[in-house]
Amino acid sequence: MATTKKNTFVDKGESKNGKGGPLARALDATPGSFDWWLLTLALILLSIGLIMVLSASGIMAEETSGDKYYFFKRQLLFACAGSVGLWIAALMPRQWLYRLQYPAIFLSLLLLLVTLSPLVHPINGAKRWIPLGPVSIQPMEFVKISLALYLAYFMSSKQDLIKTFSRGVIPPFAVTGLFCFLLLLQPDFGSAVVLAGILFFMCIAGGTRFVYLFFTLALAVAGAMALAIASPYRLRRLLAFLDPFEDAHNTGYQLVQSLLAFGSGGFFGVGVGASRQKMFYLPESHNDFIMSVLAEELGFVGVTVVMLLFALLFWRCYRVIMGQQNLRDRLTSFGITCIIAMGAVMNLAVVMGVAPPKGVPMPFLSYGGSNLVATLLCVGLLLNFSRTARE
């Protein structure tokens, strides 16, 4: 008798309308326990981030607002708001979450269009933030989550079409391309790269043909190079990355100061609060380059501990991903993990001079309400999926 090879990513028993299948049973089943290790690791990283924001931002805060705890108090409020979002996401019924893919996409598109409208004034030459009273939101941080939800839905529900070009490749690439185009108009090249990376990894996990990925990757690289060459400031940043010390007082200044911070830290660091680079030498010391201050104050040991904590966090995320029995659950948790992982890897690559500066904050550590809230939402969603993960 002929037998068919079982696909471990797809539930064969699921009916077309979802009734009675494994997905419906998973949604209706009594949830298990949270992955408390995942939550503990996230809280430890969050605590380290709060300490480093307090240390790195005090001088800047006192200079700009007269209150050396200004940025720390705001970050603490963002952490509280994000914690509420974390528990809402962790306890949200799965069927509610899976009704959000299209509303989230349309809301994200609307927010990006608002950033390009006359209602938003540019900050440092870019229109990335929407002011809402005493705070500002950066829509890009929530675009990443909505895109991951959409891609997981599309690739899990279109498995019979995913290897075709017209119906399996064009729709997700068109949606991601539209978001990337709007981000480039802000301009925010780094965020566009992040979205393209999420699409690339989701396509690999979803089963897209490698030949399609190869050609689209080649086109994306060619387009990125064209944008860099056509834009003077992008070209200067690229050249500064290749040799920052050639123009250490201008285009390469930020990266040079970051490398000096890493070098000054030595093995054990100069001590918490004793950084010299944060004294107006290193721009964005409490934001995108907070790892540089951490390296100076806590040294090689401190950076290694943070990297180990992230490694353990991603190991727990991997267990959550592989413990899912339903393809959509697995792809969604994988996409959410990619958001945190890409942020951590890209930020560390930038501050160490391995990649050109892209303005990508370090998850849990960098100052910024939108990024911190979005990161904690991602942790909450992963905790939600951990309740249905099987060993």
Cα atoms found within 13 Å of the Cα of residue 247, Cβ hemisphere only: 10
- pLDDT of res. 176: 92
- pLDDT of res. 21: 47
- pLDDT of res. 161: 78
Structure-token pair, residue 108: 């994200």
Amino acid of residue 225: M
Confidence band, pLDDT 50/70/90 cuts, at residue 251 = confident
Overall pTM > 0.85 = yes
- pLDDT of res. 133: 79
**C-alpha–C-alpha distance, residues 278 and 7, integer Å:** 53
Please provide the average confidence, as pLDDT, over all residues in the chain.
84
**C-alpha–C-alpha distance, residues 295 and 276, integer Å:** 12
Confidence band, pLDDT 50/70/90 cuts, at residue 13 = very low
Pair 145, 377: CB distance under 8 Å: yes
Question: What is the share, in percent, of the chain residues with pLDDT greater than 70?
Answer: 88
- pLDDT of res. 30: 42
Interval 176-196: pLDDT, tens: 999 999 998 888 888 888 999
Confidence band, pLDDT 50/70/90 cuts, at residue 228 = low
- pLDDT of res. 328: 92
The yes-or-no verdict on residue 14 having pLDDT over 60 is: no
**C-alpha–C-alpha distance, residues 317 and 360, integer Å:** 21
Angle at the Cα of 50 from the Cα atoms of 33 and 122, rounded to 5 degrees: 110
Radius of gyration of the chain (CA): 22
Q: How large is the average pLDDT for residues 357-384?
A: 92
Max Cα distance, the chain (Å): 80
> Measuring CA to CA, which residue among 208, 112, 223, 192 is closest to residue 151?
208
Beta pairing partners, 123: 126
Chain centroid to CA 143: 10
Confidence band, pLDDT 50/70/90 cuts, at residue 234 = low
**C-alpha–C-alpha distance, residues 355 and 123, integer Å:** 24
- pLDDT of res. 3: 41
Give the three-class secondary structure for 288.
Answer: coil
The yes-or-no verdict on residue 25 having pLDDT over 60 is: no
**C-alpha–C-alpha distance, residues 326 and 10, integer Å:** 6
**C-alpha–C-alpha distance, residues 260 and 255, integer Å:** 9
Question: What is the share, in percent, of the chain residues with pLDDT greater than 90?
Answer: 45
Pair 367, 303: CB distance under 8 Å: no
Q: Peptide bond before 118: cis, by omega within 30 degrees of 0?
A: no
Pair 53, 71: CB distance under 8 Å: yes
**C-alpha–C-alpha distance, residues 372 and 81, integer Å:** 9
Residue with tokens 């267990």: 319
Confidence band, pLDDT 50/70/90 cuts, at residue 34 = confident
Question: Beta-carbon neighbour count of residue 110 at 10 Å?
Answer: 10
